[in-house]
Amino acid sequence: MANLFSRTKLLESKIDQYLDNTSEVGLLFHEALKDYLGGRSEEFEERRAKVSDLENAADGLRREVEHQLYIETLIPESRGDVLGLLEQTDDVISGVKTVLMQVSVEQPAVPEEVCPGWLELVDYASRAVQELVMGVRAYFRNPSAVADYVHKVAFWEKEADKVAERLKRNIFQLDIDLSCKLQLGAFVMYIDSVTDQAEDVSERLSISTIKRTI
């Protein structure tokens, strides 16, 4: 199947940068929460700010891609799918930014026995984002490889759900105030939602890839 970017290298470069930003956001998500749980508040805030910067840059790139696709009437047969994938991927970036902002604002006190589960959960979320990015890249250059990445996103989403349920059960068995339990449980759902968002994009990616093959 022909490369979707056979007519333009500038568009390819912008989408590659957009996906690079998405990948970096996923990696920073993991590292920022490691910093927070490790008591490294300055490092956490630096990574949080970087995520915000990357989101702003990604928004700008997405608008540039949209403008180029419409003004230059590029890949009209796939234009809607490309824009839909980028817009939905932006929800993943925004989800990470929201979680880190909430942590910064609320400063939850995470008991030591809960920390390993939090790190495991955010690790799975980060893995799902990385697999999603590789899947979207494959959509443009090697569509036959997309199904493998979609499968991996689904795998990490299921693993994250298992960890999230276990974490919430453990939290509500702790000898702490109910308000703290509710706060910690909410943060488990916030983190887990990033993996859910990645799976949502991967499902759209799968459908878009099928459309390219028929």
More confident position, 67 or 188: 188
pLDDT (mean) for 42-65 = 95
Let me know: does 128 contact 106? Beta carbons within 8 Å. no
81 close to 50: Cβ distance less than 8 angstroms = no
How far is the C-alpha of 83 from the C-alpha of 8, rounded, in Å?
16
Q: How many CB atoms lie within 10 A of CB 15?
A: 23
Q: Is the pLDDT of residue 109 over 50?
A: yes
Residue 83: the pLDDT is 87
Q: Residue 54: which pLDDT band, with cuts at 50, 70 and 90?
A: very high
Q: What is the pLDDT of residue 1?
A: 41
CA distance 92 to 130: 11
Tell me if 204 sits within 8 A of 84, measured CB to CB. Answer: yes
| pLDDT at residue 168 in the model | 96
Name which CATH class applies to 9-212: mainly alpha
Mean pLDDT lowest for which of 15-29, 33-47, 55-69, 192-206? Answer: 55-69
pTM of the model: 0.91
Domain ranges in the chain are 9-212
